[in-house]
Each structure stands twice: as structure tokens, then as C-alpha cells.
Amino acid sequence: MNVVFFSLSRLLQLIPVLLGITLVAFLLLRVMPGDPATLMLGSRGTPEDIAALTRQLGLDRPLWLQYLSFLSDIVQGSFGRSIAYKTQIGPLLIERLWPTLALVGLSTVFALIMTVPLALYTAVRRNSLADHAVKFFFVAAMSMPPFWLGVLLVLLLSIVFPVFPVSGYGKDWLDRLHHLTLPAIIIALGTAALTIRSLRSSVIAVLGADYVDTARAKGLPEGTVIWRHVLRNSLTSTISVLAVHTSWVIGGTVVIETVFGIPGLGSLLVSSISARDYPLVQGLTVTFAVLVVLINLLADIAYSIVDPRVSLS
Amino acid sequence: MSKASAPVPFLKGAFLGALMVSAATLAPAQASTFRLGVFADALTIDPIASSDNASIWLELQVYDQLVRPSEDGTRLEPGIAESWTISPDGKQFRFKLRPDAKFSDGQPVTAADVAFSLQRASSEKSEWARFFKPITHYDVVDDHTIVMTLDKPFTPILNNLALFSASILPAKLVEAQGAAFFDHPIGSGPFVLKSWSRGQGQELEKNPNYWEKGKPAIDGASIEVVPEDNSRVLKLKAGELDAIINVPFNQAESLKSDPDVQVGVAPVFRIDLVQLNTTRKPFDNKAVRQALNYALDKAAIVKGILRGNAKPATSSIPVMAYHDSALKPYPLDLAKAKALLAEGGVPDGFKTSMLVSAGDATERQVASAIQASLKKIGVDVALQTIEDSSQFSTTKSGNYEMSLSYATSDTIDPDQLVGFTAVNPERANAFHTQWKSDRVNELYAAERATPDGPERGKQFQEIEQIVHDGAPFIFLYTPNAPYAARKNVSGFEVLPTANYSLKNVVVK
């Protein structure tokens, strides 16, 4: 099965999953106390004003009708209109998608840069001082809540040694890279703590395999043995750990984006929930779901590239 | 950056070199731009569709209104209208526009623009329609004169014309462009919206046609969204911002010790109080409600938690126009509180619960202090933290006993807050307490038809006294709003309506 066909069939399988997610998101929002009209009018609204706005927003219609119009908005790709922003949701989601993707992408790159050399080194030098030090450092990093780690690193690297900006997103792409580096490192530390452990144990297992002995017996240099034979055969389980964790990170951007003032989907979700901006929260839920599914799809494709024995089916 | 030490340039250089980060990020900001950190982004720049603070702030920089509150919040002063007269029966308002007022595209502001904008503000599409509905007729006399007529006298109307929702828009452009106008809005305020990155902030530049000569003093401003309180403070300390608003009380003190920073506190028209659900026992009893007021040491809360940045409150109206300064807050008097509890039929106290907003650290501390104080008279309060948006709807539905909350005024006229916190039925049934005073309702109707002056003042003072005595709330305090700026900034102010103004800002 080729990659395109595989991807298309996976995207088709996504339809029932998304339907379920839209229904749950839709219903959960409606059982939450608080409604958009009351929140928008606040102290100014009379009961008549609130009723009029509720009608204007179409929130007085039966639930099933509201759900159907939400689905038809998704099919048309518009996601409807945001109650708070009073604009089409589609462009808003796209505008806020890039900072989140950049943050998640950059943190994944950083995690990989930390993972591969450290996991290989600690696997080869098992139980050395360096092995224990790496283990200790990453367990400590993983145990600290990201916002706490964020505040500590900001104090150190933005105030005491002003290398990075305190928060924000920057204006051009280099400026953005500068702004995103610190939050991406914080996310990457959490990811690397898991992937280093996973890759290290796979490498240890593979190091004892017969084909590694064979490769060495053929007289291949140790570097080639490690890179071509050991690493490649160890990566598959780490890819799934990375995929699962990255899916989790996408949800976790809510915290990091708020702490670092990054205008991504996570910070948009926080503000839209407090405004009870139903259509926007629904649109965001669907976007998050699609992102998670896409990451898992990418992981499956990556397996097949790393290990051709894995077939895409 | 005063804290820079020897290794810093090296570290910074090494990092930037490695990442090839553009030199632009290191260049110092131009002296004539002002960088302000705020906690939320604007949602829209359509004045009739906004109710959030960030949108209101942006609109006030870009648009102008006929009249505006003075900087101390005590009176109205001319805006686009250079003068106005009110007919003796209080039903006709004649405004004379400034001949030199222009929109940022150079077009003059005309009476037709005023009529269009205000009619739009009272239309079905507007969230603020009821504020302008009392005007039933607009008469454009000439390009610079407009007469507005009311069916019956409605004194708060002049204040309502100072609201951001009464911003004057160029009629022809809005009619031609529809909603697209607000992508590139044109106003006659001190600034022009140059760009807006959603969630990130806005870039403003000076309006070259602004009618107030010599203002703004800066060429432009960038408003940056920094939602996290600590990050905002750190960015100011690091010199990445020139000023910030909404400084947490506990950080205002430590910021004062920074030699590069100045901290200001603005008295704002906000009142913090505990709503008491008067439909529930024993809060239906006035003696019990008064007892709770006597049991609280407001001064200790103000000193200990708000670091002195507040004044104890006497009623549900903050210190603003027509306030009766002779009226004193309930003093701390535990003996009297216990006697009143006995009078109210609960001599040994009772168990109850209080809703507290989950997101606000100061409110959680205040709630604990209230809990500890009331325990001394045998009132056992269980605190229920609740998300902001849910708190409002829970109290509105009447499903609560006590709730720690606050109210703010958009105008400098107490009419708005009286209508919200004291009148029942009206907008919020006395801020969801269901407390009702026929005399307050009567005075509210009378105040709205009485011209500004001592007689109207007496009506407001009587309302304040009745609310004080009836005690549908535990009156807490009116807090100040701390803000901070770098030492090289002057003229940045937060107004009593909690809005800020950038037109007087100077960056040295």
C-alpha cells in the first residue's frame, strides 16, 4: 500500500472519530453553566436584552438544529462565526495554528537533538556516572510542572542573563525563532525525558542482537554499526512514544502559550472557553483532534521509512 | 538593561550568532514609540459590538466621541463637540462640532457622521442600543451642528455619549464597506490602527490629522498582549516593555524598589462586595445582613491583602460623582454583630457557603480573610471556588448563598451602577441579590429625569444611604488599579473608568 493511499484511507477513517468528537464537544459546552449572551452583556443586559441576543446568536433553537448547523459549517470549511471575535472562525484558526505548529515542531526538533546522542551515549556507557546524571536530570525536569520550569528559566535566561525575551512571539521568522526557543526547550525537556529512556532501553536490547555482532565481525567501524544497525532498529518504539507525547504536548500548549504569551491555538482555547464562545471552542476542539490524528499518521509513515518491514496497512 | 553584567553580551552574542538571529531584535526601540503590555487582546474594533476591556481600550485610541470624561472623572469635557446646550425642559441637546476635527484620512467630521454613528449605536445590531434609545430624533442643522431630541428628559444621556460605543465613524465609508470597514478602520482619535496580529497585539501610529494640537507626543505605540501577570512584570523589568497595566498588588510593592520603574495607582470606579442572596434564610433578614457587615475588619483586608491600595466601601457605589462622604463604612464591632445575629434569630451563627472566582489570587485571599472574620461571630463559611464565567450565571440564576464579586462603571455617572446594583427589578435585580426597595426604585426614576445639580445629588445620596442600611451586600472596598512604567516614560495614565490614554505619553 503506498503512502498516499494509506494516508487517504486513514483520513477517511477520521470522519466517524471527528463526528464523535464534535458531538461530545457540542454537548459538553451546553451543560457548562454560563451562556455567551449573558457574559457579553454582563452588567448592562436586561433579561429582554439577553433574550434578544440569544435569539440573534441562534442559541434559542433546538439543540439538534444547532448541532446540524455546526456540522454544515464544518463541511463548508468555515466553522461558522465566532461569538466573541465576530469574525469567521476558519481564518482565525489558521492564523493561530502557525504559532502552535511552530512551537510543537521546534520542541520536537529540540527533543530529538537531545534524545539521539544522549540515549546512544548512555546505552553504550550503561551505569556510568554520565548515565546516572542524565537520568537524574531528565527525571527532575519531567517532575517539575512546565509553568514552574518556565518561570525559573525566564528568571535565569531573560532577567539575570538576558539571552531570550521574557515572552511574546516576535515579528519576522528569526525573531520568532528567538522568542520560541525558550518555551520550546521547556516542552522538549519533558519529551526528551521519555524518549531518552525509551530509546536507551531499545538500544541496549539491540546492542545484544546477533546482527550487531555480525556487523562488528565484518569489521565495520563502531560508528557505522551504531548509526546504521543499532539506531535504525531501535527507533520504532521511540517514534510511537514521541507521537503519543507530541499529541499530549498539543493539548499542553494551553499552559505554555499562556505563560509565554504565544498567540497560538492553546491560548485561544483558554479565552474562548471563558467567553463561552461555543462555535469557536467547537472549531478548536475539531482542530486539536485533527492535529492529533495527523501526528499519529505521520508516526506511522515514519515507521515505514525507518523500518521497511513495517507495512502501511 | 541595568542588570547586564560582563558575561551577558558574550552569551547573547554566542546564542544569536549560532541562530543567526537578525540584528533587529537587538536594536533598541525607537524613542518615539511606546510599548505597552496588556493582559488580553481586543476582540473587535466595532464600537457597538464590544463589551470587553481590551476592545474598549483600542477603540478609545482610534475613535473620538462627542464628549469625554475629564481625566479625574468628575465631569464631562468637550470631545468632537466643542460646546453644547441643553433646552430648559431637558429634552433637546444641541451640539456644535469642532470645525477642525478630521478623520485620519483627512475628511472632516460632520454632523451627518454623528447622526449616522449614534443611530447605528441604537440599532438592533448594537449591544448598547438601550443607552442611546432615549434619543428619538436627530436633526442635522448644518455640517457642524446637530440637535438631538428626547421624548422625555433622560439625564444620563450626556454621559452615555461619552461611551466608546458612541464613537463617531465616517458614515460614507461604513455604509460603503460594511463589516470590511473594521479591517481598516478610520477614526478621528489620536491614533490610527496600523496593524493587528490576533492574540499578539496592535501597532498604532499617530493620526496626523488629530484636532488636539501637538498630540499625540509619540509617533506610535505597540500594544502587546501578555496574558500572564508575572510575564508582564518581568518584561517591564527587562526593558522589553515601556509600561504595563494590571500589576498584581503583591508585585506592585517589589516593583517600587526597582530604580528603573515607576508605579502608579489609579482610583477606578470599581466596587468589591459580597452578594447576599436575600431570598435564602437567614439572608432575608436585614439584621443578619448588617451583622455580617459589622463583623468584617475591612481596614485589615485593605492593608494586609491590597497593600493599602483601596478605600473601605459604604455602599454598592464607589466614590464617584454625588458620593456622600459623610456616610461612613460599617465599623468593626463584634458585640454589635452578635446582638444583630440574635435579633435576626440566629444567635449562635449559621453555616453557609460563598462563591469565589478561581482565577484571581487576590480574591482568594480576601475570601479566606472574610471566612476567618465571620467565624468569630459563629458564621461558618465554606468557600466554593468557581470559574469566572460560571460565577456570573450561577448568581444570576439565584443558586447561591454568598458570592464574592465586583462591579465596575463604564461611565462617570453613578446612574449605571445604581441601576445594576440597587434597583429591582431592572437589569440585574440588585446584582442578583433580589433585594428590593421601592424607595430606591422611585429615586432611580426621579434621578434620571432630574437635571445635573444638587437636587440629583440628593437623590443619589439617599439611594446610597438606603443601600447602606438595607445591606444586601457585605460592602468591602473600592480598589485602586496599579500600573507601572519605565522611568523614561511620562504621561501614561489610567483613568477612573479603568481605561488608559496614550495621547499624552512621552518617551524620553
pLDDT of residue B370: 97
HSE-up (13 A, CA, CB side) for residue A124: 12
Q: Is B428 on the interface with A (CB under 8 A)?
A: yes
Q: Which residues pair with B262 in a beta bridge?
A: B485
The answer on B321 and B431 residing in a single domain is yes
Distance from the Cα of B163 to chain A's closest Cα (Å) equals 13
Of A43, A87, A267, nearest to B199 by CB-CB distance is A267
The answer on B457 and B311 residing in a single domain is yes
Q: Are the beta carbons of B394 and A261 separated by less than 8 Å?
A: no
Task: Look at residue B245 and tell me if it is in a domain.
Answer: no
Domain of B408, in residue numbers: 270-481
Q: Are the beta carbons of B22 and A177 separated by less than 8 Å?
A: no
Of the candidates B181, B210, B245, which is a domain's last residue?
Answer: B181
Distance CA B206, CA B192 (A): 6
pLDDT of residue B26: 40
Q: Is B394 on the interface with A (CB under 8 A)?
A: yes
Task: Look at residue B472 and tell me if it is in a domain.
Answer: yes
pLDDT of residue B248: 87
Architecture of the domain made up of A96-306: Orthogonal Bundle (1.10)
Q: Are the beta carbons of B231 and A259 separated by less than 8 Å?
A: yes
Distance CA A251, CA A240 (A): 17
Q: Is B123 on the interface with A (CB under 8 A)?
A: no
Of B127, B130, B240, nearest to A165 by CB-CB distance is B240
Tens of pLDDT, residue by residue over B346-357, are 999 999 999 998
Task: Look at residue B211 and tell me if it is in a domain.
Answer: no
pLDDT of residue A1: 58
Q: Is B9 on the interface with A (CB under 8 A)?
A: no
The continuous run of DSSP H or E covering B56 comes out as helix B53-62
- Residue B316 sits in a domain whose CATH number is 3.10.105.10
Tens of pLDDT, residue by residue over B461-478, are 999 999 999 999 999 999
What the block records as the C-alpha cell of B346 is 440566629
Give a three-class secondary structure readout of B222-268: EEEECCCHHHHHHHHHCCCCCEECCCCHHHHHHHHCCCCEEEEEEEC
Of A44, A45, A261, nearest to B231 by CB-CB distance is A261
At residue A18, φ and ψ (nearest 5 deg) are -65, -40
The residue in chain B having the minimum alpha-carbon distance to the alpha carbon of residue A83 is B43
The answer on B275 and B173 residing in a single domain is no
pLDDT of residue A43: 65
Residues in chain B with CB shorter than 8 Å from the CB of A276 are: 389
The answer on B329 and B460 residing in a single domain is yes
- Residue B163 sits in a domain whose CATH number is 3.90.76.10
Q: What does the DSSP assignment read for A129-158?
A: HHHHHHHHHHHHHHHS-HHHHHHHHHIIII
Residues in chain B with CB shorter than 8 Å from the CB of A159 are: 3, 234, 237-238
Of the candidates B181, B212, B233, which is a domain's last residue?
Answer: B181
Tens of pLDDT, residue by residue over B53-93, are 899 999 999 999 999 998 888 889 999 999 999 999 999 99
Task: Look at residue B252 and tell me if it is in a domain.
Answer: no
Over 50: is that where the pLDDT of B12 sits? no
Task: Look at residue B61 and tell me if it is in a domain.
Answer: yes
Tens of pLDDT, residue by residue over B358-398, are 877 889 999 999 999 999 999 999 999 988 778 888 888 88
The residue in chain B having the minimum alpha-carbon distance to the alpha carbon of residue A95 is B198
What the block records as the C-alpha cell of B47 is 464600537
Q: Are the beta carbons of A39 and B392 separated by less than 8 Å?
A: yes
Tens of pLDDT, residue by residue over A208-264, are 888 888 888 888 888 888 887 888 888 888 888 888 888 888 888 888 888 888 999
Tell me if residue B26 falls in helix, strand or coil: coil
Q: Are the beta carbons of A258 and B392 separated by less than 8 Å?
A: no
What the block records as the C-alpha cell of B374 is 465571620
pLDDT, average across residues B160-180:
95
Distance CA A115, CA A196 (A): 5
Surface of B (253-292) touching A: CB under 8 A: none
Contact B272, B498 (CB under 8 A): no
Q: Are the beta carbons of A174 and B20 separated by less than 8 Å?
A: yes
Q: What angle do CA B468, B473, B479 make, to 5 degrees?
A: 85
Number of domains forming the structure of chain B: 2
Residues in chain B with CB shorter than 8 Å from the CB of A87 are: 44
Is A69 exposed, middle or buried (CB count within 10 Å of its CB: 0-12, 13-18, 19+)? middle
Task: Look at residue B433 and tell me if it is in a domain.
Answer: yes
pLDDT of residue A170: 85
Tens of pLDDT, residue by residue over B232-275, are 999 999 999 999 998 988 888 889 999 999 999 998 999 999 99
Residue segments in chain A with a per-residue pLDDT below the cut of 70:
1, 42-44, 310-313
Domains of chain A, by residue range, sit at 2-89, 96-306
Of A162, A258, A275, nearest to B227 by CB-CB distance is A258
Over 60: is that where the pLDDT of B8 sits? no
Q: What angle do CA A60, A84, A54 make, to 5 degrees?
A: 15
The residue in chain A having the minimum alpha-carbon distance to the alpha carbon of residue B424 is A46
| Cell 475629564 belongs to residue | B70
Q: Which of A43, A259, A262, A271 to mutate to test the interface with B (most CBs of B within 10 A)?
A: A43
Length of chain A as a residue count: 313
Contact B260, B486 (CB under 8 A): yes
Of B19, B197, B392, nearest to A177 by CB-CB distance is B19
Distance from the Cα of A277 to chain B's closest Cα (Å) equals 11
Residues in chain A with CB shorter than 8 Å from the CB of B240 are: 165-166, 168
Q: Is beta strand B33-38 parallel, antiparallel or unpaired with respect to B220-225?
A: parallel
Q: Is B234 on the interface with A (CB under 8 A)?
A: yes
Of B389 and B32, the structure prediction assigns the larger pLDDT to B32
Distance from the Cα of A171 to chain B's closest Cα (Å) equals 9
Is B147 exposed, middle or buried (CB count within 10 Å of its CB: 0-12, 13-18, 19+)? middle
Over 70: is that where the pLDDT of B20 sits? no
What the block records as the C-alpha cell of B65 is 466621541
Distance from the Cα of B9 to chain A's closest Cα (Å) equals 9
| Cell 531573560 belongs to residue | A158
Over 80: is that where the pLDDT of B453 sits? yes
Q: Is B240 on the interface with A (CB under 8 A)?
A: yes
pLDDT of residue B14: 44
